Structure 1
Amino acid sequence: MRYDQRFSQFMICGLAAASFSVPAVSFADVTPEDVWADMSKYYEAYGYQMAGDQTRVGDTLVIDNMVLSMAFPEEEGSFSFSADKVVLTDLGDGTVSMAFPDSMPISVQVKPADEPPVDIALDYRLNDVSIIASGAPNDMLYTFEGAGIAIELTDLAINGVSIGNNVAYFLLNMDGVSGTATTVSEEGFNKLAESIVAENITYKMNFADPETGDTGAFSGSMTDTSVKLSSDMPEGVDPNDMQASLNAGMSGGILMDFASSTMIGTFTSKTEGDGTFNTSSAGGHYELSVSNKGMVIEGKAAETKTELMTADVPMPLSYSVGNSAFALKMPIVASEEEQMFNLGLTLADLEMSEMIWAMFDPQAALPRDPMTLDLGVSGYVMSELDFFDVEAMAALENTNEAPGEIRSLSLDRLRVNVLGAELTGEGGFTFDNSDMETFDGVPRPEGRIALGLTGANAVLDKLGELGFISPDDLMGARMMLGMFTIPAGDDSVTTTVEINEQGHVIANGQRIQ
């Protein structure tokens, strides 16, 4: 199965499973038949087939033997979701109640070429969940609330042989759930917007390697979690073709926020030894979205604390991070126009336990101040290839050519604070892609970058006293600082590096290349 198809199937199956928690809006009368037609139309737009035996009994439409299924491209597997009976009841006020079984099986078959087939069996469970459909045909609102939702891995078979829950197991529970979902068909798109809130989420998993005997077990929880999903799928496009869907205007995304989280784990190994870890945070945010405007991946966490114990170090090693963040935006569709990208990474207020410090600085000669890394870069590129066009990307790999051109690169922010020293910087460059000779195969840059450094000499002194730097290396480091920086106060220096249109490299007004 091609990578773009795998990615597409991952998103589609994820949306399908989530939407069955809630299987906007104008408020007119809807009938059970309208609800069934809306569900069928929505899933078929994403490549599924929906079937069931319909029987109308008074105000109720009963769907027996309901099956939601999808065949993966290139005969590499299938997905199915089954319900013995779904009951859609007209409540007499223009709304319809939806009753699903308490337990519904999910089956995933993966048949990769030249590899053993894998069969995955899951149990999807609803605990006292109420679902109401309202609105109008082609514009429906689903609301739900209940005690809980759970999904459990009940069997995993490789080449037809079940490996057992002691080798692989997973259980996810969502307690105190509520939310809404809207499905709208307009302007040639089938649109989904969904919001789910869970008071508490718990999970546990374990695995074992039958060959080595290595094992791992993990469990954790999240509180006050909210998840928002959205998807706009153009009509008349094969949903299994990720790139064609994107080019036609498809977009989708998931956002998750939570108030706190915990995780604990144990692992055993006959060769590496046993170990444990636990981690917690005071909240976080995650986002993944794709569209013809680009792919966005973001993650944030607050007050993360981690403790680790291994066979090599049988005493707890711990550290904490006040705030951490990662952000990436990149183009995924070819364009004749420049497209923006950016990358951000933050680790703020990193503190290590005294046990870690004592491993290399038992005399406490180095400052124990919290450490910080804050980096942000952005720029513009000309993307000549579609990211999910696997054939084109494979052909490019064989030619060893770049998938496009970089037009500009900016250092938006740089701050590194460690051992009492601080490095800051900002600047940017543009690139002449017609000149690949001045810098030996790299587009010729033009621009400047400014850096500032404080506390470096004090750190060098301490490292020298501890024996981490030899006297000769210490002298060399001071000479380099003197050659390429300008004094700017007590143990503070700055430097500005420029590259002009002739390709000359100039540091603090002096040409060095």
Structure 2
Amino acid sequence: MTFARYFRGAATVAGLCMGTTALADVTAGQVWGDFKSYLQGFGYEITADETQTGDGLTVSNVTMVMEMPEGAGTARVTVPELSFSETGDGSVEMTMPNMSTTTYNVDVEGEGDSSGEIDVVQNDFVMLVSGSPGDMVYNYSATDMQMAFKNLMVDGKPVDVAVARVEMRNLEGQSNSKVTDLRRTEQTMRAGSMGYDIDMADPEGGSGRLVMKGAVSAIEFAGTATTPTEAVDTNDMNAMLESGFGVEGNFTHSGSTTEFSFDEDASTVSGTVVSKSGSLGVRMDAGQLGYTVGSNDVTLNVTSSDLPFPVEMAMADSQLKFEMPVTPSEDPQDFALAIKLGDFVMSDMIWSMFDPAGQLPRDPATIAVDLTGTARLDAPIMDPEAMESAEAPGELRTLTIGDLVLRLAGAELTGAGDFTFDNSDTSTFDGMPRPEGALNLKLVGGNTLLDTLVAMGFVPQEQATGVRMMMGLFAVPGEGEDTLTSRIEVNEQGHVLANGQRLR
């Protein structure tokens, strides 16, 4: 079963709802006009009743409707009343009711439809805007902000939800918005904590039930957003990027804890996930799409009715980095992919399943790879039709393997290399552009590990002999005990060599 599809539309709408709280201007009329202009730039249609007051403007019966990208459905936000009060010193105070409601209807082709409501509650929310037209500074705070999901439906059937709630406490932030031909907004935000509480049945109609509670402490965000001042078609992401849309930001936290349990039929899985700190970064503009995710000191404890013992694992460092070009260019553009699972350990109970005698070293394991390079993009990544084409959307030009590490059970493999690619030659390597370059590898402790696996009965002796023959073909002895090195080269003729000996 999957809970991800159900929450996709809800999460998108909730993010939009929270993001709209950082807009205002220096007079009441300008505030409301700027508020509408900003949201209309994202495709919202806005209706409301306006009433002039002695110190500003009151806007009631506010309705904001947006068609979701790719025809996936609609989002409707209703706010009973917004108040814009001029303070007399050139600034404006914006207040809103404690609760507003968002309804959404998501219909993704091939995945069915879902709908629901989100109640957004803000306590002691205050926003004060200062500055000058075209260069505003918004300061806001709230003791807490809650989002509660209700009346959830999937494929026309109600979902049994006891609770689905997210809450942020001690929220404060600042937003500086400058408007020229584009709107550029620089934001910082801090929250003392965030908690979430979910108790719901399987949205797909199965017998399973998910219960999850969690908390995240000391959340901070810093980022920028660039948006067009004119309305754009939100169904065409490529057009949005070409018109100047872009976001870049980074979230950090100082600790998180999640408790979960899942019951289905006679099976039960429960556990906890704890991390000491973490981060999430994102960038999307006409130049590049990128994500970075990191966690430190992660521990996982899981118990299952199908397992005779608890599963306990820990990892000191986990990192993921992904960057790629978005729009076509005649010149090569940079890309990157890096993955690291650092100092991974697991409990002795797990080790004892396949190594009860403790013959294998149980040192922390690490897997890491860092790839960078350049590629020429011929079609927009955000164009679905172009991505569905049978032809490759571009050409790989260069690839650098900056860091390759595999450290496990007492053995360590490291490597680095550089390659260029000739896209005019796709016959030498059977449809692949011909590479040219070299990869340098070093293996320490490989023979010792192989001997141990033979002694444990995991690897038959005849297979181990074959492995040693292969290592002798591809590698040569290096400095130090049980050390092998190898240089794998591909020359301009397409020949593959290992330590100078031709293999192909």
Aligned-residue Cα RMSD (Å) equals 2.2
Query: 5 Å matches for 1:154-169?
Result: 154-158=150-154, 160-166=156-162, 169=163
Kindly provide the CA deviation profile for residues 240-272 of structure 1, in whole angstroms up to 9, marking residues without a partner as x. Answer: 32101212332113321000001110011226x
For 2:51, the aligned partner's letter is T
Alpha-carbon shift at residue 40 of structure 1 (Å): 1.2
**Could you tell me whether the CA contact under 8 Å between 2:161 and 2:201 is conserved in 1?**
no
Conserved? CA contact 1:77–1:111, under 8 Å: yes
Describe the shift of the 1:22–1:314 C-alpha distance in structure 2 as closer, same or farther (beyond 3 A): farther
**Other-structure match for 2:19:** 19
Contact residue 56 and residue 85 of structure 2 kept, 8 A: yes
The 3-state SS of whatever aligns with 2:22 is: coil
Counting aligned pairs with the same residue, the percent is 31
Matched, 1:260 2:255: yes
**SS, match of residue 17 in structure 1:** helix
Cα gap change, 1:405 to 1:75, in 2 (>3 Å): closer
Is 1:200 matched up with 2:193? yes
Provide the residue aligned with 1:403 in structure 2. Answer: 393
> C-alpha separation between the residues in 1 aligned to 2:379 and 2:430?
24
Matched, 1:135 2:114: no
Q: Which of 228, 239, 248 is the aligned partner of 1:244?
A: 239
CA–CA separation in structure 1 for the residues paired with 2:107 and 2:336 = 37
The residue number in structure 2 matching 1:119 is: 115
Q: How does 1:307-456 map to 2 (within 5 A)?
A: 307-394=301-388, 396=389, 400-456=390-446
Contact 1:21 1:149 in 2 (8 A): no
User: Does the C-alpha gap of structure 1 residues 147 and 206 become closer, same or farther in structure 2, counting only changes over 3 Å?
Assistant: same
Question: How far off its partner does 1:161 sit?
Answer: 4.4
Report the CA distance between 1:293 and its aligned residue.
1.4
What letter corresponds to residue 202 of structure 1 in structure 2?
G
Deviates more, 1:82-91 or 1:418-427: 82-91
1:38 corresponds to 2:21? no
Q: What are the Cα deviations for residues 441-460 of structure 1, in whole angstroms up to 9, with x where unaligned?
A: 11111111110000111111
- Mapped partners of 1:42, 1:9: distance in 2: 21
Partner Cα distance (2:256, 2:148) in 1: 20
Q: What is the CA-CA distance between 1:10 and the residue it aligns to?
A: 9.2
Equivalent residues in 2 for 1:447-466, closer than 5 Å: 447-466=437-456
Give TM-score, length-normalised by structure 2: 0.93
Per-residue deviation, residues 308-346 of structure 1 (Å, max 9, x unmatched) = 112221421111111110000011111111011110011
Matches within 5 A, 1:221-240: 221-236=215-230, 237-240=232-235
Using the size of structure 1 for normalisation, the TM-score is 0.91
3-state SS of paired residue (1:87)? strand
Q: Which amino acid aligns with 1:178?
A: E
Q: 2:311, 2:292 → 1: CA distance?
A: 28
Deviation string for 1:453-475 (max 9, x for gaps)?
00111111111111110111111
Alignment of 1:41-56 (within 5 A): 41-56=37-52
The amino acid that maps onto 1:106 is: T
Q: 1:477 matched to which residue of 2?
A: 467
User: What is the CA deviation profile of residues 324-371 of structure 1, one whole-angstrom value per residue up to 9, with x for unaligned ones?
Assistant: 100000111111110111100111111111111111111111101111
The structure-2 alpha-carbon separation of the partners of 1:425 and 1:111, relative to structure 1 and needing over 3 Å to count, comes to closer
Counterpart of 1:288 in structure 2 is: 282
Tell me the CA shift for residue 409 of structure 1. Answer: 1.2
Q: Does 1:510 align with 2:504?
A: no
Quote the offset at 1:119 in angstroms. 2.2
Structure 1's unaligned 5+ residue stretches are: 1-7
State the SS of the aligned residue for 2:307: coil
Sort the Cα spacing of 1:304 and 1:55 in 2 relative to 1 into closer, same or farther, 3 A.
Answer: same
Deviation at 1:19, TM superposition (A): 2.4
Counterpart in 2 of 1:102? 98
Q: What is the CA–CA distance in structure 2 between the aligned matches of 1:171 and 1:297, rounded to whole Å?
A: 26
Letter in 2 for 1:19: G
For structure 2, the residue ranges without an aligned partner over 5 or more in a row are 1-7
**In 2, Cα distance between equivalents of 1:254 and 1:224:** 17
Structure 1 pair 223–459 and aligned structure 2 pair: CA distance change class (3 A):
same
Look up the match of 1:279: 273
Q: 2:143 aligns with which of 141, 147, 159?
A: 147
How many corresponding residue pairs? 494
Give the aligned residue type for 2:166. Answer: L
